[in-house]
Amino acid sequence: MKRNRINNNDGGMVFGFIILAVGVLILLRKLDVFYPDWLLSWPMILIAIGVITLVKHEFKSFFGVIMLGLGVFFLLEQEFNFDFGMERFIFPIALILVGIYLITKKRKEQQVMNDIQDKLISKSTSSPSTAEDYNKGEKAASSTQSAGGKSYAGMSGVSGISYSDSVSIDSIMSGINKRMLTKDFQGGKLTAAFGGIDLDLTQSDLSGIVTLQVDVIFGGIKLIVPPHWDIRVEVTNIAAGVEDKRVYRQSEVDSDKILVIRGTVFFGGLEIKSY
């Protein structure tokens, strides 16, 4: 039986240690053991979100840097009386940084689309069908490639139809809808931070055990799966909702089609549906 492997550096262990630390601090407070109050202040929530996101993305997440930076800023200002004189500039600066990030991300996605179109044009006279060519192009684009000294990530943030065998979507302050048409789904990872993701897998197929990593922070993810798949949800949810709204039919579940959903849902929601 085939097993899918993904990056295990998903931040789940870090999240567990943070929850453990919070529990220990609350217990110590109940026992009248002294410790600094700032350890349970609201800026520490931003710091925790930033750390989890950075660990999950191998310290290459712009969102994680922003959350960590804001948390440290407010912690130093409110708890340690640091006066940066930047209170009135924080909000516009944050908007500017987010805007730059979104523009840069969109340009990278457009470059990937242009690369794929160029490949389709160059192969237009070959025998494979358009769908197969697109599949090959998207698979090539989904891994980091070097072109002209620039490295482009896959089409993770593009809504629409995908022929790729794996999925990698980061939705930050945005909404993304994607339908997978692969007949050999290999799993992947979904991240929704202050945004939403709708992933339609009804036209897809898989074999064996496949893992899908989901991480939700103040957002939502909706998965639409075939009714005969064996769905196993193993997520950690904190102040969040995980709803299984699948339609159960008379047909038996195929024991050779197992989708394991793992990850963390923090102040958000995960919804699983079928038709």
Q: Is residue 93 part of a domain?
A: no
Same domain, residue pair 132 and 179: no
Confidence of residue 125 (pLDDT cuts 50, 70, 90): low
Quick: pLDDT tens for 208-225: 999 998 888 888 999 999
Position 111 scores a pLDDT of 67
Domain count of the chain? 3
Q: Is residue 146 part of a domain?
A: yes
Same domain, residue pair 116 and 162: no
Quick: pLDDT tens for 12-47: 566 677 778 888 888 888 888 888 888 888 888 888
pLDDT for residue 197 is more than 50: yes
Same domain, residue pair 183 and 229: yes
Rg value, the chain, Cα: 21
Q: Is residue 269 part of a domain?
A: yes
Q: Is residue 141 part of a domain?
A: yes
Are 185 and 209 spatial neighbours (Cβ–Cβ below 8 Å)?
no
Which residues on neighbouring strands pair with residue 234, listed in sequence order?
262
Higher pLDDT, 1 or 112: 112
Position 148 scores a pLDDT of 37
Same domain, residue pair 229 and 216: yes
Residues 164 and 136: their CA atoms lie apart, in Å, by 8
Give the range of the structural domain holding residue 63, as residue numbers without chain letter: 12-85
Residues 95 and 100: their CA atoms lie apart, in Å, by 9
Are 44 and 73 spatial neighbours (Cβ–Cβ below 8 Å)?
no
Residues 250 and 248: their CA atoms lie apart, in Å, by 7
Quick: pLDDT tens for 56-90: 767 777 777 878 888 888 888 877 877 766 667 77
Position 108 scores a pLDDT of 65
**133: which 2 tokens?**
């060519």
Which residues on neighbouring strands pair with residue 69, listed in sequence order?
none
Tell me the pTM.
0.54
- CA distance to 84, 126, 134, 137, 156, per residue, from 113 (Å): 43, 20, 10, 9, 11
- What angle is formed at CA 210 by the lines to CA 207 and CA 211, rounded to 5 degrees? 170
Amino acid 22 reads V
